[in-house]
Structure 1
Amino acid sequence: MDIQLLRAFYAAAQEGSLSKAAQRLNFAQSNVTQKIQQLEADLGTQLFYRHNRGITLTASGQILQTYVEKILHIVQEARAAVGDSAKPAGPLAIGALETTAAIRLPALLTDYHREHPGVDFSLVTGMTEQHVNDVLHYQLNGAFVTGPVEHPELVQEHVVDEELVLVTPASHPPVDSIRDAGLRTILAFKAGCSYRARMNLLLQEQGLIPDKLMEFASIETIIACVSAGLGISLMPRSIVAEPAEQGRIRCHDVAGKHAILRTVFIRRKDALETPALTAFLSAVRAHFA
């Protein structure tokens, strides 16, 4: 099978649209259509259903997509393997939780960039679930996520343990239990956030249901809204230490097993460890030792 046919198929499968696949590949749409038709003829099977909303993979297409994903990744690995293997260079895509990226990584990334300027580094922030999926599908070389992560195709390394604290307005009296905070509005990141999941566990164990749940996209917004009295949140102490010292919010200890959240670095077991990734892993281990 021609690698260009596979690239056209994979782009179309990911985009769900021939026109978007063409834009992504910088091809004419007719060129993408022709390549997919050629691939279907070569394999003797239909790979897509065509409809008004775009295209959808058939059962055969879904099977092929899994193989093509691996094939394209192996091709990329082969190019990296035959290149200059001594010097870290080329692309390196790493995922991280927003809180980890904001507090734990700036100094590490600054040092890494200074020592390895030839690496085309990109950092993607998001939720654990999405990062795990992206690492599994070769979209990321690795990611800092909430652990433990149990998956047969992944390897994980412990990075750091985060202490979680209940965050309330500064005027709030001391809290010994989540019940003491009352059934206030909970301020959290969108579904998939590990802090939100841990807050849900705390509430469930006490048989509590919050008055309301409000979702936010940034740490700063949540802290500002807690400070203004809109609600309460559960956050790592490292994130809220400064605004707490400034008197903008108040932090309360969380007792028991829910107080600690582990951050791990995950990567695929079968992925080639490029010089850029090897250097990054060494930097991570030294930084968090």
Structure 2
Amino acid sequence: MDLTDLRVFRTVVEAGGVTRASQRLHRVQSNVTTRIKKLEEDLGVALFEREGKRMRLTSAGTTLVSFADEMLTLAERARDAVQEKTPHGLLRLGAMESTAAVRLPGPLTALHGRYPDLNVELRTGASRPLIQQVLSGELDAALVAGAVSDPRLETLPTFHERLVIVANASHPPIARAADVKTRAILAFRAGCHYRQRIEDWFQRDGVPIERIVEVASYHAILGCAAAGMGVALTPQSVLDAYTERAQLSVHELDPEMRDVLTLLVWRKDVSRVKIMALADLLGPSTVAAEVRLEPVAEESRAS
């Protein structure tokens, strides 16, 4: 079996068809189809049942998936073992907005100083979309929140975050969701782990959320909270860097809701050299560079 054929096979399975697989692999559809047929001929079995443009895995195809993952992972590890160990080229990294703003400046500066031939392309987003981008190969690795159980991914704990509820400075104490005066939450788009956690907090107390105001940055979230537009769930590390903290009230959560671990995730079957270069500089003891979040402009607070 050819490793390239196995990669094409696995991509077709993950993408759900030849058309999307060809886009991910940057190959013409006929080449992808030829590779699948060649693999089937080599194995002497049909891997897909074809119904028009639809393709479904046969029992043999289902069996091959796990073996393909293991073989491709082993091949990448063998490549890492024999190739030069100095990281270079491009590392496509995803991170949550809070992690990128507060946790990464120090490690990325150190990474550049240690490996000047390694360039980092940083993309921010919510945890769920970032994980999907790692799985599809759009990102080499990502820093995400919450548990990750996909067997195709490796994970490494990096940062421990303590979450707090923030509201405007005059808001009375908040011990549970029922204490929130304005039943609006300020959050990123769906797919954000912190947004899901505050939604679960309201639901656990049986308190309906009147509306969700979606914003694009923590600058805007904290500014809108200060203006009394709603409440938000934010890492303490982000709040500590905010220069207008006096305009906010901070409310503690119970341990079940407040503690969250940030994980570095990457595919098991990709080269680890560049990822491990970054991983060596991450962790609970990492001291991030001093970052101050400036107050949001008035027009952002009103948005």
TM-score category, normalised to shorter length: 0.7 to 0.9
Distance 2:58 2:182 in 1: 48
Give the distance between the partners of 1:57 and 1:104, measured in 2 at CA. 42
Corresponding residue SS for 2:87: coil
Per-residue deviation at 1:104? Answer: 0.8
CA distance in 2 between partners of 1:70 and 1:37 (Å): 21
Residue 165 of structure 2 contacts residue 252 of structure 2 at CA under 8 Å; is this kept in 1? Answer: yes
1:36 is matched with: 36
Residue 293 (structure 2) aligns with: none
**Mapped partners of 1:56, 1:251: distance in 2:** 54
CA deviation map 1:133-187 (0-9, x unaligned):
7778998765434356689985644x443332222245x4332423332251223
CA contact (8 A) 2:166 2:251 kept: no
**1:257 pairs with one of 255, 258, 262:** 255
- 1:62-211, aligned counterparts within 5 Å? 62-85=62-85, 87-90=86-89, 92-128=91-127, 143-146=142-145, 156-157=156-157, 159-170=158-169, 172-178=170-176, 179-182=178-181, 184-211=183-210
Query: Can you list the C-alpha shifts for 1:81-115, whole angstroms capped at 9, x where unaligned?
Result: 21113x23355454433311221112211221222
The Cα of 1:207 is off from its aligned counterpart by 3.2
Residues 128 and 191 in structure 2, CA contact (< 8 A), matched pair in contact too: yes
Mapped contact 1:183–1:209 kept (Cα < 8 A): no
| Bigger mean CA deviation after superposition, 20-29 or 108-117 | 20-29
Identical positions, percent? 33
Count of residue pairs brought into register by the alignment? 285
Match of 2:301 in 1: none
**CA distance 1:154–1:287, change in 2 (3 Å):** same
For residues 204-283 of structure 1, the aligned pairs below 5 Å read 204-241=203-240, 243=242, 245=244, 249-258=247-256, 260-266=258-264, 274-283=272-281
Tell me, in whole angstroms, the C-alpha distance in 1 between the residues paired with 2:271 and 2:9.
27
Q: CA deviation at 1:68?
A: 2.1
Counterparts of 1:47-62 in structure 2, within 5 Å, are 47-51=47-51, 54-62=54-62
Q: Mark the CA change 1:23 to 1:242 in structure 2 (over 3 Å): closer, same or farther.
A: closer
Deviates more, 1:133-142 or 1:22-31: 133-142
Residue pair 1:168, 1:233 contacting (<8 A) in 2 also: yes
Gap runs ≥5 in structure 1: none
Q: Structure 1 residues 108, 83: closer, same or farther in 2, change over 3 A? A: same
Q: State which drifts further: 190-199 or 101-110.
A: 190-199
Normalised by the size of structure 2, how large is the TM-score?
0.73
Paired AA for residue 261 in structure 1: D
> Partner of 2:12 in structure 1?
12
Question: What are the ranges of 5 or more consecutive residues in structure 2 without an aligned counterpart?
Answer: 289-303
| Residue identity opposite 1:284 in structure 2 | L
Report if aligned partners of 2:106, 2:287 keep a CA contact under 8 Å in 1. Answer: no
Does the CA-based 8 Å contact 1:95-1:143 persist in structure 2?
yes
Instruction: Give the distance between the partners of 2:44 and 2:269, measured in 1 at CA.
Output: 31
Q: CA contact under 8 A between 1:185 and 1:231: conserved in structure 2?
A: yes
SS in 2 for 1:208: coil
